[in-house]
Chains A and B, each alone.
Chain A
Amino acid sequence: MARTSAEELIKEKVLAVQEYSILAGEAVANLARRPRYVSDMLMQADFIGFGSLPIVGLTGLSIGAVLALQTSTTLQQFGSVSLTGQLVSFSMIKEIGPVLTSLMLAGRAATGMASELGSMKVTEQIDAMRALGTDPIKKLVTPRVISTVVMLFFLTILSDLMGLFGGFIVAVARLGLSTQQYWTSTYQQLQFPDIFQGLCKPFFFGFIIATVGCYYGVSTKGGTQGVGRSTTQAMVASSVLILIVDFFLTQLLIWIFGR
């Protein structure tokens, strides 16, 4: 009996991966197919991008400030407080900016997509769309994927800048550094590979957020309780996937650029 349920569990997981892969593949393939649903894309971009500005900005500012505070205590031991800006910029731009922004967006957008599409699924609106001759993946999933990937890129830049600004406030107000000292150290050691690493990650993470959110939405079963379950699963799965992909992507980029 236990063996049967273990087998079924494995089958279920393999099927889920297969269905997710098909959905993600279709969403990408639709980039080359008409119609393009530009207005849906802009509407999603407004919700995902403009709607996430406050939370992403605040998170970046707060993390930048905290980073400056935390690292300064260590740097003081070596008499290198002047390097605070460098540490903040390296951490924010290469790693914390893209990962944290993605996690924030996973909490806001992936759950939003899962609950919206999940509600449509349980009320047969997705079946109705198919019955009306419209491809729900083209109409609902592809615009969300494009909007999330594009907007996460810009949100990450905003988060990085807010993080640097947060570090600047602490460096000047608490650590006694001059404005020039801080900003010079933030950019003088930065090189193209560092910025490239930080700005290529959002494309992968944005894709994960949108496809996972949409996958859990369109595969919702079991009424309103199912919608709640899908929303939670979308948040957990997208966050875990972001962290796993981040590790391997960082490894790959370090191997390519050597830093």
Chain B
Amino acid sequence: MTPELDIISNGHSASKEVVLEFKDVELGFDRHLVLRGVSFQLHRGETKILFGVAGSGKSVLLKLALGLMKPDAGSITVLGQEITSMAEQDLFALRRKIGMVFQESALFDSLNVEENVAFRLMEEHVPLEEVRKRVVEALRFVELEHTLEKFPAELSGGMRRRVAIARAIITHPEIILYDSPTGGLDPITSTTIVELLVKQRDVYKTSALMVTHRLQDGFTMATHHFDKAKNQMVRVQNSEVNTNTSFLILRDGKVIFDGSGRDLAGSTDEYIKEYIS
């Protein structure tokens, strides 16, 4: 099946093919509903930035998308498969098509950087020469190819986050889930990480769902694209926004906004205006 394509204003293309869909998803802990009827779609090639105050259920939403948790109600479809009723053993195969960058990186602390990044390939019994080549390639993408032998404890927070990104992208997943990839990092390191996410979006056209507290990260992603020739992130011309990037805002477990950066900037909702101000 060939996905129908939309040509969008800044020259990028987004597909109407839905790779991730939440329909009326509900989840509660200790008699408290964290998600109340959450519904949204993520299209192929799209990056959706998920905003919300602490405790609004953003990280939980990513874990649901990966099948690490099960919702109390509603359905979640990932790459055409309804995952809420799937057995854990079947989910393992599906998860190999999805990359996840955890909030605190979640690198295996007893393995070095090379072994961490190579983990999925080693599990798939890829020949060692091929593994080495792809690990170096993934680490070069995050500009950390010199850290192969180092252990996570020897790396800074930003470097750990970049290794986690390399681990997530090494198999060229169809969807990447980022859980606060810049959380707790200084502004310069955060910009480096955001640039990597923009690069991943524009070079590999990977669909992504990104949770963040930092508004500026979301807006940077929406207003920049990756220039391959310059090998750096540059601002989209004429104050345009990158329409491959959309926004979703959660409040008290409900979606209160789902739309483009332009719609977000023009929103008349008082809460949203206050949130983005």
Distance of B87 from chain A, by nearest CB (Å): 11
Within 100-124 of A, Cβ neighbours of B (below 8 Å) are at 120, 123-124
Is A32 an interface residue when CB atoms closer than 8 A count as contact? no
Task: Identify B96's interface contact among A123, A124, A128, A133, CB under 8 A.
Answer: A133
Q: Mark B1-23, 1 if CB is under 8 A from A, else 0.
A: 00000000000000000000000
Distance of A98 from chain B, by nearest CB (Å): 32
Q: Is the CB of B93 within 8 A of A133?
A: yes
Q: Is the CB of A132 within 8 A of B63?
A: no
Q: Is the CB of B106 within 8 A of A135?
A: no
Q: Is the CB of B120 within 8 A of A124?
A: no
Contacts of A124 in B (CB 8 A): 102-104, 106
Distance of A44 from chain B, by nearest CB (Å): 13
Known: A133-B96, A135-B88, A135-B92. A128 touches B108 (CB 8 A): yes
Is B68 an interface residue when CB atoms closer than 8 A count as contact? yes
Q: Is the CB of A132 within 8 A of B104?
A: no
Q: Is the CB of B95 within 8 A of A123?
A: no
Closest to A130 in B: B68
Closest to B119 in A: A132
Q: Is the CB of A123 within 8 A of B89?
A: no
Task: Identify A133's interface contact among B104, B106, B109, B120, CB under 8 A.
Answer: B120
Q: Is the CB of B98 within 8 A of A131?
A: yes
Q: Is the CB of B98 within 8 A of A125?
A: no
Q: Is the CB of A128 within 8 A of B89?
A: no
Within 23-42 of B, Cβ neighbours of A (below 8 Å) are at none
Within 91-118 of B, Cβ neighbours of A (below 8 Å) are at 92-93, 95-96, 98, 100, 102-104, 106-109
Is B66 an interface residue when CB atoms closer than 8 A count as contact? yes
Q: Is the CB of A132 within 8 A of B109?
A: no
Q: Is the CB of A133 within 8 A of B123?
A: yes
Q: Is the CB of B88 within 8 A of A125?
A: no
Contacts of A125 in B (CB 8 A): 106-109
C-alpha gap A53/B123 in the complex (Å)? 32
Q: Is the CB of A131 within 8 A of B104?
A: no
Contacts of B119 in A (CB 8 A): 132, 134
Closest to B103 in A: A124
Contacts of B106 in A (CB 8 A): 123-125, 127-128
C-alpha gap A128/B108 in the complex (Å)? 9
Distance of B10 from chain A, by nearest CB (Å): 32
Known: A125-B108, A127-B63, A128-B108. A133 touches B102 (CB 8 A): no
C-alpha gap A164/B201 in the complex (Å)? 69
Contacts of B109 in A (CB 8 A): 123, 125
Q: Mark B134-178, 1 if CB is under 8 A from A, else 0.
A: 000000000000000000000000000000000100000000000
C-alpha gap A130/B63 in the complex (Å)? 11
Contacts of A123 in B (CB 8 A): 104, 106, 109
Within 54-88 of B, Cβ neighbours of A (below 8 Å) are at 63, 66, 68, 88
Closest to B102 in A: A124
Q: Is the CB of A133 within 8 A of B88?
A: no
C-alpha gap A73/B102 in the complex (Å)? 65
Closest to B177 in A: A131
Contacts of B93 in A (CB 8 A): 133
C-alpha gap A129/B116 in the complex (Å)? 10
Q: Is the CB of A131 within 8 A of B88?
A: no
C-alpha gap A120/B110 in the complex (Å)? 10
Distance of B264 from chain A, by nearest CB (Å): 29
Distance of B104 from chain A, by nearest CB (Å): 6
Q: Is the CB of A128 within 8 A of B102?
A: yes
Q: Is the CB of B102 within 8 A of A130?
A: no
Distance of B115 from chain A, by nearest CB (Å): 12
C-alpha gap A124/B125 in the complex (Å)? 24
C-alpha gap A46/B109 in the complex (Å)? 20
C-alpha gap A211/B11 in the complex (Å)? 56
C-alpha gap A241/B181 in the complex (Å)? 44
Q: Is the CB of A131 within 8 A of B95?
A: yes
C-alpha gap A129/B89 in the complex (Å)? 13
Contacts of A133 in B (CB 8 A): 92-93, 95-96, 120, 123
Beyond known contacts A124-B102, A131-B66, A131-B68: 19 more, CB 8 A cutoff? A35-B125, A123-B104, A123-B106, A124-B103, A125-B109, A128-B100, A128-B102, A128-B107, A128-B108, A130-B95, A131-B98, A132-B95, A132-B123, A132-B167, A133-B92, A133-B93, A133-B96, A133-B120, A135-B89
- Can you report 29 A-B residue pairs in the complex whose CB atoms are below 8 A from each other? A35-B123, A120-B108, A123-B104, A123-B109, A124-B102, A124-B106, A125-B106, A125-B107, A125-B108, A125-B109, A127-B102, A128-B100, A128-B102, A128-B106, A128-B108, A129-B108, A130-B68, A130-B95, A131-B66, A131-B98, A131-B100, A131-B102, A132-B95, A132-B120, A133-B92, A133-B93, A134-B92, A134-B120, A135-B88
3 A-B pairs with the lowest CB-CB distances in the bound complex, closest first: A128-B106, A133-B96, A124-B106
